[in-house]
Amino acid sequence: MMTIKTANLGFPRLGKKREWKKAIESYWSNKIDKTELDQTLQDLHKEILTIQQNHHVDQIPVGDFSLYDHVLDTSLLFNIIPERFQGREVDDDLLFDIARGNKEHVASALIKWFNTNYHYIVPEWDNVTPQLNRNVLLDKFNFSKELGVNTHPVILGPITYVALSKGGNQTFDEKVRTLLPLYKEVFQTLTEAGAEYIQVDEPILVTDKANELQEITEEAYAFFNKEAASTNIVLQTYFERVDLNFVGKLPVYGFGLDFVHDNGYNLKQIQDGLFPKEKALFAGIVDGRNVWSANIEEKKSLIETLQSYTDELVIQPSSSLLHVPVTLEEETLDDSIRDGLSFATEKLDELYALKQLFNEQDDTLYNQLKEQFERFEGQSFKQLEYDYEAVKSERATPFKERKVLQDQLLNLPDLPTTTIGSFPQSREVRKYRADWKNNRITDAQYQEFLENEIKRWIEIQEDIGLDVLVHGEFERNDMVEFFGEKLNGFLVTKFGWVQSYGSRAVKPPIIYGDVKWTAPLTVDETLYAQSLTDKPVKGMLTGPVTILNWSFERVDIPRREVQDQIALAINEEVLALEDASIKIIQVDEPALREGLPLRSEYHEDYLDKAVHSFKLSTSSVQDSTQIHTHMCYSQFGQIIHAIKSLDADVISIETSRSHGDLIQDFEDITYDLGIGLGVYDIHSPRIPTEEEITVAINRALKEIDRSLFWVNPDCGLKTRKEDEVKEALNVLVRSVEKLRQDNTVKQPN
């Protein structure tokens, strides 16, 4: 009988209570030194390895634990260091500067990791000299050996790494060939150190790009095979299907396949005989990206099927568990909901239950999980009776006509300035919110504090000279979690944190029931802010696509149904703001691009539904009400036509970290709606110069009509310090004031 083993692809770095985040941010703020940082993170890494060992994982990953981002780790490993940061010692401080920028240099670009809410630091190849630097992967593997933990090293593969890179004069194939000897050296050192196998992640092979990458992929893995470096490589893919017609022929020890997010194709290919039976199959059968319990009975059936097609079967999550919270153990939840949930450690228990069932015929844990799932599955949604026909999904009047009314009403200057919405979540803001939630202060005391902060920041914005103001969102912990706390059908956890980028952690709400708006969510704060100024104050909302993509949604209900429920709820809030005489309402959709399926065959359907939901949430307003939206840190070229179809009066999009590359996307489309391009990077502590902002604006104005152009930072300002915000916004406003006096920029044809 075949013995089934378990493996894991990656574990959350944050720690149960965000110990990772707190240590790194303490180092950045000089509250701890490098020695204390190293010790704290080493202790946390040990805890993470031990947790997986205690949950009976046979093969535990090492190399997934990072100081910031695993893609950036790979860049430093191979000396792919941005030209502006070269000439320094390759150490952790260099890593942080590349990721965050410093006073002298801008940070590297930050882009979504495939279709997740995780962000990676884009490697830059301009004038680099690839070579093997400090081999931290080997250090981490040896650390795990000292602890007596059976681990396998994890590294981003050469094809995916180069595909996620930019810059340099070399061709794609030349870049890969440059890296191959370096990968070989890393593989050899790990093998000599005792690694049973090495997990080489190549998720780029599940995308449409795989077809054009076939020849260089075959060449790369043939090189590893010839150099005796591939005998223990497991080529790992996730997030979609892979083409086994060519990938299945690569000379490696085994293949990792996603059987959760592949739309059934990976299993069909295996049943069609495309998987080489002599290879090890690392089957991703438990959802690594969502928090719902596995249907353990279905997983049992899947394992029984897969056993017939391989001589060696290893079961594992569908992807790294980086995308889910650590554990349910300290959550205080009703059993009716807890029965249906599974965080990272609970997913490892699901794998262990299946392993015990097959290897030991021990069904104790299996039956327990099966009963829990059946109890939860027995609870059904109450179907709400929405009157979709009563809600408009198209604006009543074309944009050009709306713009005339809005310009007359708002009377804004040339190149109007604004911010994206949030202002610093200072320690004082967080303390007051925590005290209020824990009943240490009264509702009245908390409300008084919020009003004082709103008043203070309205005055700051007026002093700086911004044209359209915001109330600052001091009552909000997160742009999605806040709405999850207010709308029916959402559950908000206490410790359900996941990493978004760097030390930024978010706590996605869990959609477990029908979504419904029952009372105004943001009107009081927005109306109070508007009462303090004659300048327009934007109402600030999060859009339905982003709320869905940044929540853990039920997987047993069509996404469109849930998304449209959210859209109708947001529409109620939009109308409540309009009824309160708020003239500009921003409905942010930063996650619209990240939810785009990895295969182009699904793009049109996804975008049609996304555009419909956004318009369902915004189209019932009067022509004179100006609708804004915002998107950030994505590659927009594929969706530029969908962005236009949103029919938002003004859209603001990040361009600072992409150093203006986004402007090229507008060369292929006539974009005749209002647009603001983020002119400085708010995720970096450095203050932009007037020259940098002026150059960014002038470049944009060569492609975009000046009468449509807005000027703003690239994202919300909640993560920045107050002094940084004030200084940067003053630079922004001074730059715009000078450009207003010098209206000589050549206009687009």
CA distance 244 to 266: 8
Strands (E), 130-270: 151-156, 198-201, 233-236, 254-258
Residue 467 DSSP label: S
Q: Is 463 annotated as a binding residue?
A: no
Query: Which whole-number Å values give the CA distances from 310 to 272, 274, 275, 358, in the listed order?
Result: 13, 11, 8, 15
State phi, psi for 509 to the nearest 5 degrees.
-70, 165
Report in angstroms the alpha-carbon separations of 116 from 39, 120, 154, 238, 258. Answer: 31, 11, 19, 12, 15
Per the DSSP assignment, residues forming a β-bridge with 654 are 678
Q: What pairs with residue 651 in β-bridges?
A: 629, 675
Residue 323 DSSP class: G
Alpha-carbon 155 to chain mean position: 20
Radius of gyration of the chain (CA): 26
Query: Any binding-site annotation on 630?
Result: yes
Residue 735 in tokens: 């730059």
Instruction: Give per-residue burial for 603-638: e unless 16+ CB within 10 Å, then b.
Output: beebbebbbbbbbbbbbbbebebbbbbbbbbbbbee
715 is in an annotated binding site: yes
Q: Is 184 annotated as a binding residue?
A: no
Q: Is 588 annotated as a binding residue?
A: yes
Q: Which two tokens stand for residue 433?
A: 């919110």
112-128 CB burial, b ≥16 within 10 A, e <16:
bbbbbbbbbbbbbbeeb
What are 311's two structure tokens? Answer: 């001589």
Q: How far is CA 88 from its chain centroid?
A: 30
Give the end-to-end CA distance of the chain in Å, rounded to a whole number. 72
**Crossing angle between the packed helical segments 523-531 and 559-579, to the nearest 10 degrees:** 30
Q: Which run of H or of E encompasses 611? A: helix 603-618
- Kindly give, in sequence order, each residue whose CB lies less than 8 Å from that of residue 372, ignoring residues fewer than 6 positions away: 293, 339, 340
The response to whether 422 counts as a known ligand-binding position is: yes
- In 3D space, the residue among 446, 590, 467, 465 whose CA is nearest the CA of residue 524 turns out to be 446
Q: Establish whether 70 is a catalytic residue.
A: no
Identity (one letter) of the amino acid at 93?
A: D
**What does the alpha-carbon distance between residue 342 and residue 350 come to, in Å, rounded to a whole number?**
9
**417 vs 733: CA distance, rounded Å:** 7
User: Would you say 550 is a known binding-site residue?
Assistant: yes
Q: What is the DSSP pairing of strand 110-112 with strand 119-121?
A: antiparallel
Q: Residue 370's CB: how many other CB atoms inside 10 A?
A: 17
312 belongs to an annotated ligand binding site: no
Structure tokens at 489: 């059908």
Write the CB contacts of 696 (distance below 8 Å, at least 6 apart in sequence): 655, 656, 660, 677, 679, 680
**The pair of three-digit structure tokens given for residue 354, joined into one six-digit string:** 């299946």
| Burial class of 462 by CB neighbour count within 10 A (0 to 12, 13 to 18, 19+) | middle
Show contacts of 364-368: CB within 8 Å, 24+ apart. Answer: 366/296, 366/300
594 annotated as belonging to a binding site for a ligand: yes
**Catalytic-labelled residue, pool 261, 471, 612, 683:** 683
- 573 marked as binding residue: no
Contact (CB, 8 A) for 112 and 594: yes
CA distance 105 to 598: 33
| 18 annotated to a ligand binding site | yes
Phi, psi at 255, each rounded to 5°: -130, 135
73, 35, 49: which is closest to 145 by C-alpha? 49
Annotated binding site for L-methionine: 420-422, 473, 588
Binding residues: 18-21, 112, 420-422, 473, 550, 588, 594, 630, 632, 654, 715
Active site residues: 683
